[in-house]
Chains A and B, each alone.
Chain A
Amino acid sequence: AQKVTQAQTEISVVEKEDVTLDCVYETRDTTYYLFWYKQPPSGELVFLIRRNSFDEQNEISGRYSWNFQKSTSSFNFTITASQVVDSAVYFCALSEELRGSQGNLIFGKGTKLSVKP
């Protein structure tokens, strides 16, 4: 069965703290893709990153970094030196090569991040 688990429902940090959002996935496919989307208070879903199952290299983009570990089926997202503008709900999502070919993204329940000044 395909599944994405984001165990942290809500996280609250103070500005400039580092924060890690956890994502654990389940799939039987050997080829799959993992995504993170951000949903700010305005409501839209903003694409952040995509990783494929064959590329376990960690990725850094400015204050954002992602740690993909197939051994633990995890794709965690770290924000370094958080800012108030990072406050949002963050969704991890899975796309399998077959089901994903029809646009069927499987989302986790999301983690609401609140960054306080």
Chain B
Amino acid sequence: EPEVTQTPSHQVTQMGQEVILRCVPISNHLYFYWYRQILGQKVEFLVSFYNNEISEKSEIFDDQFSVERPDGSNFTLKIRSTKLEDSAMYFCASSRGVSGANVLTFGAGSRLTVL
């Protein structure tokens, strides 16, 4: 079964450092997303991306965050200058179509620890 692949599975970084989290969405999916889950809390929407541009972003997705699809397969989330509160599990997801009925397929997550 096709899956969304995320790397790294766990990254530890120092506060203020830049971090790039990578995702390979399902190949025939056109819509891509990042979600965040702070430990023990609910999963929160960060951003959606289609046709090489951001479709929607949440309040969490401030100027220190950016997303990019640098080639035909990867979808990346960059955090420019990490803060302690950025420590969380980051989930990439993709979907074939766009509507409220979308079933998002999530990756296994990348755990980010900021020290």
Measuring CB to CB, which residues of chain A are less than 8 angstroms from any residue of chain B?
A: 31-33, 35, 37, 42-47, 50, 52, 91, 93, 95-110
Contact B100 A97 (CB under 8 A): yes
Interface of B is mostly: strand
Contacts A/B (CB < 8 Å), 8 sampled: A45-B91, A45-B93, A91-B43, A102-B56, A104-B56, A107-B43, A107-B44, A110-B42
Interface of A is mostly: mixed
Chain A residue, CB-CB nearest to B6: A44
Docked complex Cα distance between A106 and B44 (Å): 7
Residues of A within 8 A of B35 (CB): 105
Query: How many residues in B have their beta carbons less than 8 Å from beta carbons of A?
Result: 29
Is B51 in the interface zone, CB < 8 Å from A? no
Contact A47 B42 (CB under 8 A): no
Contact B100 A98 (CB under 8 A): yes
Docked complex Cα distance between A98 and B103 (Å): 15
Docked complex Cα distance between A44 and B111 (Å): 11
Contact A103 B102 (CB under 8 A): yes
